[in-house]
Amino acid sequence: MKISKIFLYDEPSVPEINISQLADFIKKNFTIDVEVRKNIFSNVKKTTATQLASCRIFNTRKSFEFHSPSAEEIEFEKNSFQNSSKIKNIIMYDGFEFQKILSELIFEAENSANNFHLIFTNRLMCTYDYNDYRYHGRTIICSNPSIISTTGIIEAPAKSKEYYIELISNMAQGLNLESIKKKYQGTYLEYHDERISTIVEGYAMQALFYYLTGEPFCVLEECRLFNPHWQKELLHSQIEIGKLCKKHQKILGDLVLDLNS
């Protein structure tokens, strides 16, 4: 697959993405033209709010079925289009349905296979896993458009086992949870963490590798294509290491040669 242009859609409520820095990063590493858009929801259809509200997940133990949304839920989606910082609580959506709805918002003239679209959202996408029969939070849905959830970056890779154990045992004793959060501060990402701008570069690479090679992830923790299950792994791959492994650096080099040939 060849890409001639990449469109990035910002999530205005999360300025830590630093979308112009990401655009420069992609231009530099993939040598592809990048255009930044303010928000995917500037081009909504009449049905978009209802569609979004219909793919919300309320029971994480059940596979996907459409929800019949209330008028309030539809109104909430409408109000969140231009100001998604209204989304205070974590609302879960089926990731694949969400991706389908957003793909309908791409301008028709730009909706061709050589244009790649990458959308940021603070809504939390989840996918149902038939191995353990439950929904899990996801950071990225790889497709075209690809979706990266900033809430997913913070919530999907788990914090350390020690953190949860201490949190639960202290909760039972009614102790101050803030002191535990403080103790573990820095070992996981928090909302509006400034490291998000670096981490989204790694996820953007995963989305692009998926589209260009069919394989978004790497098995090595020392690579930005590593798919982390823990916050510790995420911070290790993206912040401490912050580069591709040798194999993927070579693949990227070949891709760039091919894109420019």
Nearer residue to Zn ion within complex by CB, 53 or 218? 218
Tell me 186's DSSP state.
T
Considering only 223, 234, 235, 252, the residue that binds Zn ion (CB under 5 A) is: 223
> Segment near Zn ion (CB under 5 A), from 73-81, 141-149, 187-195, 221-229?
221-229
Nearer residue to Zn ion within complex by CB, 145 or 202? 202
What gap in Å lies between CA 119 and CA 98, rounded to an integer? Answer: 11
- Examine residue 245 and tell whether it contacts Zn ion (CB under 5 A): yes
Cα–Cα distances (Å) from 166 to 184, 230, 233, in that order, read 10, 17, 20
What gap in Å lies between CA 95 and CA 151, rounded to an integer? Answer: 13
Least distance to Zn ion, CB of residue 206, Å: 10
Nearer residue to Zn ion within complex by CB, 14 or 208? 208
Best CA proximity match to 139, nearest among 127, 156, 122, 123: 156
Least distance to Zn ion, CB of residue 245, Å: 3
User: Which of positions 17-56 make contact with Zn ion (CB under 5 A)?
Assistant: none
> Segment near Zn ion (CB under 5 A), from 28-36, 44-52, 184-192, 224-232?
224-232
CA torsion sign for 106, 108, 110, 112 is positive
- Examine residue 248 and tell whether it contacts Zn ion (CB under 5 A): yes
What gap in Å lies between CA 122 and CA 130, rounded to an integer? Answer: 25
With CB under 5 A, what is the number of residues at the site for Zn ion? Answer: 5
What gap in Å lies between CA 145 and CA 29, rounded to an integer? Answer: 20
Least distance to Zn ion, CB of residue 234, Å: 15
- Examine residue 92 and tell whether it contacts Zn ion (CB under 5 A): no
Q: Quick check: bond before 157 cis, omega within 30?
A: no
Q: What amino acid is encoded at 150 in this protein?
A: T
The residue length of the chain stands at: 261
Nearer residue to Zn ion within complex by CB, 7 or 226? 226
Considering only 141, 218, 251, 255, the residue that binds Zn ion (CB under 5 A) is: 218
Least distance to Zn ion, CB of residue 82, Å: 39
- Examine residue 252 and tell whether it contacts Zn ion (CB under 5 A): no
The rounded Cα 50 to chain-centroid distance in angstroms is 22
Residues in contact with Zn ion by the rule CB under 5 A: 218, 223, 225, 245, 248
